[in-house]
Structure formats: structure tokens, C-alpha cells
Amino acid sequence: MTRRITFLLTIFLVLLTVLACDDDIDTTADFKDIPVVVGLLSTADTAHYIRVERAFQARNQNANDVAQIPDSIYYDNLTVILEKVETEERFFLEEVDGNLEGYVRDEGTFAQAPNILYKIKADEIGLEAGDEVKLIIIRDDNLPEVTATTTVLGQVNIFSPSEVSRFRIVPNSTNRISWSGTPLTFFYQVDMYISIRELELSISRDETTEYRWSMERRLTAERLNFSGDEFLSFIVGLNMEEKPSIARSITNIRVVVSSGGEEMFQAVNLNIANAGITSTQESPLFSNIEGGQGIFSSRSVTEVTGVGITSESLEVLKENPLTANLNFF
């Protein structure tokens, strides 16, 4: 759960904001309860979390002010269930404060605390690849159930690089990342995390920072090529301080391949298809939540760590005019 696909959280916030602040709402009409749901299941997670909030109608009030009131966006006495469709086993999720679970909500439009989520430990439900899972949300006041269904994805198997691989970062070189998914995987996201150590002996500073290179967000092929020039451009784009007293080294490279299920694929495609540069209307957002808005889907995250660069690549970092003043060693 530590690495989420960013667009899902964006969709959640946009849904909640649009539904809360719609200027076309009839403020004299009966209140309409609209749950907004985001849930991603993964066999790699130690616990599964579902976020459920309520879109509100800020009648004669400032919507930003109302969004800061927890009672306006959270439900009382909500029951959240995950059901294994094949066996009809039901598992009831516990209401928790995400801030206390290590998932602190960012400051912004909506109330930061509490950060209510619904949780079940992975070993309690025992999800496996191929399991069809139904989400059931029960509200008070005899409101209809809110439901959604997804199939749990299997893990991606990364073929290249391996933990002993070395990327060749020289001009005009080509490096390949390759993997295999499952028939239920609809798209992939590839990220590279580059750890750079900085030594500044004059002030006894020794720090290592990990930088994220978002390489691809909507890939359907099971491979991705990148050039040495692209790697160098990423390093240059970090705008690290050019200072003679600072020496640097690349200590580790992690390659992370994430995969998404059909619901996430549809959401991404719909969002892109409706994002015209001259459009003045809001893009429709995909939802697979019956009786609400949002996304319930599955993902997988696989990584290879311990990857390095060749000695030839280090010489390029030392001598290339774009990176020579960064003092790599």
C-alpha cells in the first residue's frame, strides 16, 4: 500500500470536489447521498484499505469551509464488506484512522483529521490471484447497498534487469526493462528509483537521496526501452547543486513495475480521451461503483533492487559536459 498509482487519488479528489461544489445543484431539492469510493486490492499488501467518503451539497455555505468538517464527508455507522464471490465468504472491514496507520492525509481542501479508512489484514482474508471479489457498502436509513466487483491480479514477473544487472548509460545506448503479466492485466506503470549519495567532507555531510523517474504511465506492452541519453537527461533535470566540495555516487537503482486491472485501464483511457485542449467542460470520470462514484480495482507491484551502472557509464557521468560538474565518483 506504500506505492499508489497517483491518478486514482486524483480521481477521488476530483469526484468529491465536483459532486460537492456543483453550481447546478438545486438547493431546494431533497439531499442526495452520494458515496465516493476508492479501493485497490493487491496480493502484495499486508493489509487492504478502502476509502469511502460522502459527496455533500453545501447549501448556502462555502464548499471549502464545509469540506473541512469531518461530519460532512464521513459516514456514521458504515458497514464495509469484502466478499469472495466463488465461496460467498464475507469479511467485515474495520474503521481506522489512516493517519495512525502511517497514511497521513495531505493538507488541502478536505479535512485532514481524522482520515477514515476501512481496513482488513491480508492474512484474514487471504486473497489470491484470480479471486473475484465483491465490495459491499451498507449505509443507514435504508439506503440501497453500494457495490462493485473486481478480480485480483497476479504479480508481475520482471525478467530484466536482475539484481546483478548494470545499465549501460552512454550516448546512443539502449537499455531494456522487460517483464510478464497475467491475462487479467490491462496496463503497466514503470518507475525507476535512483539513489544518489552526496558527500561534503568540509561540513561532515553524508546524505543519500532517492529520486523517482516516472518512465511510463500507460503501457500495454511488456517491455520498455530507454536510452543512455534519457538517463543523463533525468540526472541533469534534478538540478543538483554544482559545488566542488560535493562528491556524488549512484548507490542503488530500483526498477518498479506496477500493473492495473480493467477498471483502472478504463478510467485512464476515458480521462485521456476527454482531455481536449480546447474543451471548457469537465471530463466525464469512469466509475464502476454501483450506487456511487469511484473505482474498485486490483493492482500489483513488483520491484528489482540492487541494480547498478557499468564502469563505462561512470566515466560518462564524470566526463560528459552536462554532468561533469556534479563530481560523480
Question: 178-197: per-residue pLDDT in tens?
Answer: 999 988 999 999 999 999 99
The predicted model scores a pTM of 0.78
Q: What's the pLDDT score for residue 20?
A: 42
Q: If you average pLDDT over residues 205-215, what whole number do you get? A: 97
Q: If you average pLDDT over residues 91-106, what whole number do you get? A: 89
Q: What's the pLDDT score for residue 21?
A: 43
Q: What's the pLDDT score for residue 24?
A: 41
Q: What's the pLDDT score for residue 109?
A: 54
The residue ranges of every structural domain in the chain are 6-152, 157-259+303-326
Question: 36-79: per-residue pLDDT in tens?
Answer: 899 999 998 999 999 998 875 555 555 455 555 565 678 888 99
- Burial letters 247-276, b for 16+ CB under 10 A, else e: ebebeebbbbbbbbbbbbbbbbeebeeeee
User: Residue 6 is which amino acid?
Assistant: T
